[in-house]
Structure 1
Amino acid sequence: MNTSNNNKRKMIVIHGGHFSSLKGFYEEASSVLMKDTDWKVGTLDGFDDILYGGFGVIDGKEEIEIIWKESQKSKENLGFNATREFYENKIRQGKPFNIELIQQKLDELTKGEGQTLFEILVEIIESHSNIALRLE
């Protein structure tokens, strides 16, 4: 196998300056990852699915580097308050969401133990072994 491929790693830039909410993140991710498709990211699972590749700009298991610019801004925008609101909205909507599970996640967050949306998104990206994440 040719090891010089690392230099040819496809670069994808998510720009934290372009959004300040989870909905905005989905729009940014859709515009950079799904350029020529009419499919849009609208859920955390949907974002995870896109990263598996095969549609949009990621072609299967190719080596990708995602550069998240202004990630500190995103970390604040998608931090505790946004995450609490995210869970509270799901609880308000009720079905099809698992309210007990979401309440548990909200309780963990409130106790300072749960993950913020930013941390969840980072974890989703890092769960893909072919994708390197650089927070800038």
Structure 2
Amino acid sequence: MTTTTSLPAASPPQTLMIDGANIRDIASFYDEINRVFMVGEDWQLGASLDGLDDMLYGGYGVLRGKSPAIVVWQQMDSSRIALGVEATRAYYLAKLEQPQVFKPGPIQAALARLGQGGPTYFDLVMQVFADHPNITLRSADR
């Protein structure tokens, strides 16, 4: 007698929507991330790429347990502009004002790279999302 055991069907990935119209700068980007991802939590994610990375690993919020997700980013192109060179420069300059917290050398190097076409904050966010195979990021603009 042969017995077969079927595995439970995997649940389909949840679909989450980032509204780029709500993103005007780095602070409002995190407001939108909190609105979308931190449902059910009694705390908010701070403006931190490391925090974003940790959240996408699935430890809390709607991604608790590393559940797969499709993230559709509406008005991604306007977010790219909002998190572009100007916002990135302001982000690095603010860090330079806190030498007791941030080492100036790496920040000055990042500013120099930015001036030569290096990654913007938007590019850094895209890299964080790309590092998570359980997350599929799509632009609604295309």
For normalisation by structure 1, the TM-score amounts to: 0.91
The AA in structure 2 aligned to 1:80 is: V
Select the structure of larger CA radius of gyration.
2
Kindly state the Cα deviation for residue 59 of structure 1 after the two structures are TM-superposed. Answer: 2.5
The AA in structure 1 aligned to 2:27 is: K
* 2: CA distance, partners of 1:109 / 1:130: 30
Kindly state the Cα deviation for residue 90 of structure 1 after the two structures are TM-superposed. Answer: 0.4
* 1: CA distance, partners of 2:115 / 2:137: 28
Question: Aligned-pair RMSD on alpha carbons?
Answer: 1.6
Kindly state the Cα deviation for residue 5 of structure 1 after the two structures are TM-superposed. Answer: 4.5
1:19 aligns with 2:23: yes
1:132 aligns with 2:136: yes
* 2: CA distance, partners of 1:134 / 1:95: 38
Q: 2:77 aligns with which of 68, 72, 81?
A: 72
Bigger proportion of residues as helix = 1
Unpaired runs of 5+ residues, structure 2, are: 1-5
The AA in structure 1 aligned to 2:80 is: K
Unpaired runs of 5+ residues, structure 1, are: none
Map residues 50-69 of structure 1 onto 2, 5 A cutoff: 50-69=55-74
1:120 aligns with 2:124: yes
1:95 aligns with 2:61: no
Q: Percent identity?
A: 35
Q: Could you say what secondary structure the match of 2:97 adopts?
A: helix
Deviations 1:31-84 (A, max 9, x none): 110111122121111111110112110032221111111000000010011101
Deviations 1:62-118 (A, max 9, x none): 211111110000000100111011101100122211211011000000111x21011
State the 4+ residue runs in structure 1 displaced beyond 3 angstroms.
Answer: none
* 2: CA distance, partners of 1:10 / 1:98: 39
Q: 2:88 aligns with which of 83, 86, 102?
A: 83
More off after superposition, 24-33 vs 52-61: 52-61
